[in-house]
A and B are shown apart, each in its own frame.
Chain A
């Protein structure tokens, strides 16, 4: 398996534009996580899905952010409109299960998308 795939790897956009980040989880993994990493706040969970259903979106910063998982092999994170404070690295991760206390529930991270909003 190629691992978790994210695209694009880098995105530079202007304030007010719509940004769509994409993720393909590892085949067979039931859980998909979206994280954001900034220098100030470190890694933060934005939202996660189980079997394509959003389970916890309490980390989504505001209504400008939305995430979908239309099928088991694809998820998107959309920001509309984007703002400079959204600049960060966005990681997607997947795991076999969501019970994080078991070693089998190791999360596999994608390479991340570095977003710069000017």
Chain B
């Protein structure tokens, strides 16, 4: 079982819809990162969460530490939100701390 699991793998929505992408993680993950990978391939960090909720524009990220679950929400989705969204967990092992990644969720927002 992967340390970080995302769902769904693919998601298609109509412009204006509310989007939710889910991420579950295993014991040993201390913080969650959400990344956005544009169709051209570039990767941008959206959020880092260790508790609670964060909001940036139309993007909201939440985390439930007890359930080891995080969600990324997009309100009033737009075609420009089409991208791959990647959840990554921060894990400490052997004195080093690094990211372990989910497989990503490919979001397509149609006009």
A interface residues (Cβ-Cβ under 8 A, vs B): 33, 42-45, 48, 55-56, 58, 89, 91, 93, 98-103, 105-109, 111-112, 114
Given contacts A109-B43, A111-B41, is CB(A100)–CB(B86) below 8 Å? no
Q: Write the nearest CB–CB distance from A52 to chain B, whole angstroms.
A: 16
Cα of A23 to Cα of B73 in the assembled complex, Å: 33
For the complex, count residues of B whose C-beta is within 8 A of A.
23
CB-nearest residue of chain A to B33: A100
Q: Write the nearest CB–CB distance from A102 to chain B, whole angstroms.
A: 7
Asked if residues A107 and B42 are in contact (CB atoms below 8 Å), the reply is no
B75 is an interface residue with CB less than 8 A from chain A: no
B interface residues (Cβ-Cβ under 8 A, vs A): 30-31, 33, 41-45, 48, 50, 86, 88, 90, 94, 96-104
Asked if residues B101 and A56 are in contact (CB atoms below 8 Å), the reply is no
Asked if residues A56 and B48 are in contact (CB atoms below 8 Å), the reply is no
CB neighbours (8 Å) of A33 from chain B are 98
Cα of A45 to Cα of B91 in the assembled complex, Å: 12
CB neighbours (8 Å) of A42 from chain B are 86, 101-104
Which residue from A45, A103, A106, A111 sits with its C-beta under 8 Å from B98? A45
